[in-house]
Structure 1
Amino acid sequence: MIGFTQSITPFTQEGRAQITTRLSKDIRHEIVLLMESKIPTRSVEYMDNRISRYSMKKGKCEITGMFLTAQNVYCHHYISKHLGGSDKFNNLRILQKEVHELIHITDKIKANTLIRILGITESMLEKQKCELEIIK
């Protein structure tokens, strides 16, 4: 349990340093869990790049910006493997489970519902050059 203290604040240099330190500990813990996870159908390159990408993104979903625990990390291929995509770092995106589901969903009603629930905006999608469209 994390105790509350008034010194942890984004308004002071010391407070920002404390926030960064705590976030870093959280990320380190989640990286350890990702390192221990096994996905037998994935390559070593995929597993390594998934951890590197998670670390680079400071544990946040690349669409919503939400901090992700290891169990909620989905590593999406920007260009699908069956379309010639690879497990290289630049072809992977760290996403939360629901965003990953949204990318692959084909039912327009379910997709629009999930978009509303997640608060996905067109600018979020444009920022990441995601192939997902807002369905109107």
Structure 2
Amino acid sequence: MLENPKKLQFTQEITPYTQKGRVVLYKKLKGNVLKEISRQMESNIPNRSVEYLDNRLSRYSMKMGKCEITGWLLPAEVVHCHHFMPTCLGGKDEFNNLRILHKDVHRLIHATEIETIKSYITRLGINNKEVVKINKYRKNCNLEPIGKYN
């Protein structure tokens, strides 16, 4: 039996761009994600644009607080926001260019020393499926793909 088509329809009600849309959006967020968003709002990230700070929170909320590589729920102190297309290569602070990552996954993406890469893969328990995702990020950073070290 097919799912109710009304459940599958897109709605313009859920949007961060209107007061009503934000209310609907925040009602759908889990309590722990809301708490972590509040904690992130209190953090100080110098030299970042308002667009970056706002889109970082929006992206975290859209991903329900989960790392986009591992799927782990991230508390505020381990959240890093990665530019999929690096700013040094023309990437902007736009929502679609940001990715929410565990801080050590972010460091692994940018790591260049073999021993450092091996250490992060082992410590984080990165699997081959996650290595494939990480390599997509590394490619955009003009970095060599990492091998399968696990």
TM range (shorter): 0.7 to 0.9
Following TM superposition, the consecutive aligned residue runs of length 4 or more in structure 1 with deviations greater than 3 angstroms are: 125-129
Deviation at 1:99, TM superposition (A): 0.4
1:92-111 equivalences under 5 Å are: 92-111=98-117
1:70, 1:87 → 2: CA distance?
19
RMSD: 2.0
Matches of 1:88 and 1:43, distance apart in 2: 10
In structure 2, stretches of 5+ residues that fail to align are 1-26, 140-144
- Mapped to 1, the partners of 2:123 and 2:37 lie a distance apart of 28
1:76 is matched by which residue type in structure 2? H
Moved more, 114-123 or 93-102: 114-123
TM-score (norm. length: structure 2): 0.69
Counterpart selection for 2:53 from 47, 53, 78: 47
2:110 and 2:138 map into 1 onto residues whose CA distance is 10
What is the match of residue 146 of structure 2? 134
Matched positions, count: 115
Structure 1: give runs of 5+ residues left out of the alignment.
1-20
Alignment of 1:56-75 (within 5 A): 56-75=62-81
1:113 maps to: 119
Using the TM superposition, give the Cα deviation of residue 109 of structure 1 relative to its aligned residue in structure 2, in angstroms.
1.6
Give the letter for the 1:42 counterpart. R
In percent, how many aligned pairs have the same letter? Answer: 53
User: So what's the TM-score if we normalise by structure 1?
Assistant: 0.76
